[in-house]
Amino acid sequence: MIAILAHLATDHSLATIFAALIICLAAGWLVTSLRNRAAASVGAVRLRWLAGTAFVAGLGVWTTHFMAMMGYRPDLPLGYGAGITTASAVIGVLAVGLPLAATAVVRSTAARAGLGAMAGLGIGAMHQTGMAALSGCLQSQDAGATVAAYGLGAVFMAIGCGSLRTASSPARFCAAFTLAVCSAHFVSIAGTTLAPLPDIAGVGNDSVALSIFTAVGAAVLLIGALMTVLAARRFDAQADAHTAILATALHNMSNGLIFIERTGKLGLFNERFVEMFGLSGRGLRLGMTSDEVIDVVSSAAGWNADQRKWAGGRIEERLQTTKFDPVDYVLPNGRIVEIESNLVAGGGTVITYNDVTEERVARAEISELAYHDPLTGLPNRLAFRERKIALIAGDKPFHLLLIDLDRFKAVNDTFGHGVGDELLVQVGRRVVATVGENGFTARLGGDEIGVFVYGSADEASQIAEGVVDAVSKPFILGGFTVSVGCSIGLCSGEGIDSHDVLMQCADVALYDAKHQGKGRVAAYRNGMLEAATERHKLEADLRQAMSLNQFHLAYQPVMELDKDEIVGYEALLRWEHPERGMVPPASFIPLAEETGLIGEIGRWVLEEACGEAASWPNERHVAVNVSAVQFRSPLLLSHLTASLAKSGLPARRLEVELTETALVEDGPKIASVLADIRRLGVKVAMDDFGTGYSSLAHLCEFPLDRIKIDRSFVVAAEENSRAHGVVMAVVALGRHIGVPTLAEGVETKEQLELLRNLGCEAVQGYLIGKPARLRGDDPRSREPLRATA
């Protein structure tokens, strides 16, 4: 070190060294200012600041070097090559300026230190290039000194750049920058030996040019420094104004706010934060550590040790995590604040506290309305659907109970909707009490309730049976005692990956429970859904059958035994489907009754049968089956009247057949309808006597014109004495009360003779004639084909 200082004193002009030092310090200060502006800017503005930083840094190193070289070895007539000198300036900008500018856009300390080391090596490269520009002497350099120069420049610049922040103080960097430039220059110079050359000419001009270059560089640096100072003062004034505005806005904003610096100290807070946490007079001040802030806040809020630890951990996370989801916190006064944090460029985080009490209350109310039934308070269809999707996606075993009340409509119609609503409320309570915590109960709409039961099939069945039992007990509603029941469709969620399929299976099981007689539980079985799908397809086809002319009537003859003469025909509905073929009546008639299609189909049958019978000879009558659904319809009489009027068929030639099932509901009402039918002149027959809800009272109450003995008794009468006795008793009963009897299903001559001997008035069956369509289009021969007895 002493040798280097002695070398400096011997080979350099101290005035130029001092000037170079001033230029280097000015350059370091200017580079720091420009670099800080670049770090705080974005976009195109940042690019301009970065370019200025690179230019000033490179030119500052170059000017320092050549200012020092101007006073080096005044005893020698040294010159400098203009081209290499210019190249050294370019190297200074590229190899030193660009790495230093890049430190403004990287956040890692290690990365900044690495860029500083690159800039330090660039200082050595610039120095070596500048030395190569020397002319008028012989030059030799010590390799060790050169390596040491590069190394010292890299180390000092790595230290200086590693200490940089977004808004760094220039002192530390200026010192590191000056040490890096000076050590690289003077250590390299100490290892350089110059020897004069004889007869050197033309050096002065190069020296003058170098002086001009150096003076220009120094002027640029000084002017740049001055402009930067002025700009900085202007910006500082603007910043002060902005700070005042910001402070006013900060302390009057509705949100609480604090700023925690990268070091974990409190850098900023506003009055709203103080008010929210009740900290007035509790000594909150800038510069407090985050732990001290938590101590102040926790003392005001009455936190325990675990809560303090939790809050401290959250602040540490917010200082380190780039993305942190907002969280809600309930203040001691019950208000709810949403806590949100955002990292600040250069370090630290801003934490805001937004009072969201009204919003959260409104959200809770909306959620309550969105996910709960306003009448019963149970979860609604939407909540049920979300739970269903979650259960299907999970691996927890569950079963679905689909509950539908029996006789609920009767309660509404009898007692009014107010009582019906109260009934639903009490039913919901009983279901919830029965299901308990091992399930989820929701009202799906109307009188339908859905329940998810967690556990095995046995547990689900027990709960389902418990619900049926609970709902079957009487309800006391506003002074009324109401009894209803419920039917339940049960379906396991195992193996089902679609919430729609799950509902379909439970719905099919519920339909089966209703179909079995209500007040019971039916579990879904494999194939039920396919059967239901087929039923829906059949229903769809049935709705189009009439418009596509797929229905026709077949007529089966009725023979009067005392004359052995055909006296009429029974019209039987047939459906000939283009793909299914002949669809049995037992398959589509119940479906037509359930769907309400039977009314329109029955009207068509009456019109068609009356129209055909009008052309038959010998006063032959036509018998038409009327279902229980048709019989209960107020349109039946109008259909009968319209069919007779349209066809011109005398009413005495039309006979309607009713099953016993249709006659068991409201006795007086049924008798009234039957009387109205007979007043039209239409005859009435009781079909399938003995197989339904048989009662001798029916024969006394209802005006009948014929009793039809079911074919099951006729077929068995020859071999079964009891069946024989039933047929004999019915024939005798009819004869005594004056109502003719007709036996169905006669297929053998022996059966025919038996019935003749018993005194039966009329018969029909395959022996007499099979059901058949009309013979042809000739109106004179529009009598059905028949077999001869």
Give catalytic residues, as residue numbers.
744
* SS3 state of residue 635: coil
Q: How many CB atoms are located within 10 Å of the residue 41 CB?
A: 15
User: What is the DSSP secondary structure assignment for residue 78, as one 8-state letter?
Assistant: -
Beta strand 521-523 with 79-80: parallel, antiparallel or unpaired? unpaired
Burial group, residue 214, by CB count within 10 angstroms (0-12, 13-18, 19+): buried
Nearest to 550 by CA among 571, 582, 577: 577
Spatial contact of 627 and 589, defined as CB atoms under 8 Å apart? yes
Cβ atoms 598, 627 nearer than 8 A: yes
Supply 82's token pair: 């203009």
Q: How many residues does the chain have?
A: 789
- 3-state per-residue secondary structure call for 84-117: HHHHHHHHHHHHHHHHHHHCCCCCCHHHHHHHHH
Phi/psi-derived region of residue 485, left when phi > 0, alpha when psi is between -120 and 50, beta in every other case = beta
**Exposed/middle/buried for residue 524 (C-beta within 10 Å: 0-12, 13-18, 19+):** buried
Please name the amino acid found at residue 624.
Answer: V
Instruction: Give the residue carrying structure tokens 């120069």.
Output: 149
Instruction: Provide the β-strand partners of residue 452.
Output: 400, 440
Residue 437 is given by DSSP the state G
Is the Cα torsion angle 99, 103, 104, 107 positive or negative in sign? positive
Please state whether beta strands 565-577 and 581-583 pair in parallel, antiparallel, or not at all (unpaired): antiparallel
Distance CA 30, CA 227 (A): 10
Spatial distance between the Cα atoms of 368 and 362, rounded to a whole number of angstroms = 10
Question: Using an 8 Å Cβ cutoff, are 93 and 55 in contact?
Answer: yes
Residues 6+ apart with CB under 8 A from 524: 489, 490, 491, 492, 505, 506, 508, 509
Six-digit token string for 739: 């109502």
CA nearest neighbour of 728 among 749, 697, 762, 759? 759
Helix axes 667-679, 636-647, angle to 10 degrees: 10
Q: Which residues make beta-bridge pairs with 624?
A: 571, 656
Residue appearing with tokens 């010998």? 618
Closest CA relative to residue 789, chosen from 534, 565, 609? 565
**Residue 519 to residue 114: CA distance in whole angstroms:** 83
Whose tokens are 């909306």? That residue is: 366
Distances in whole angstroms, Cα of residue 491 to Cα of each of 262, 393, 457, 521, 522: 59, 17, 9, 11, 9
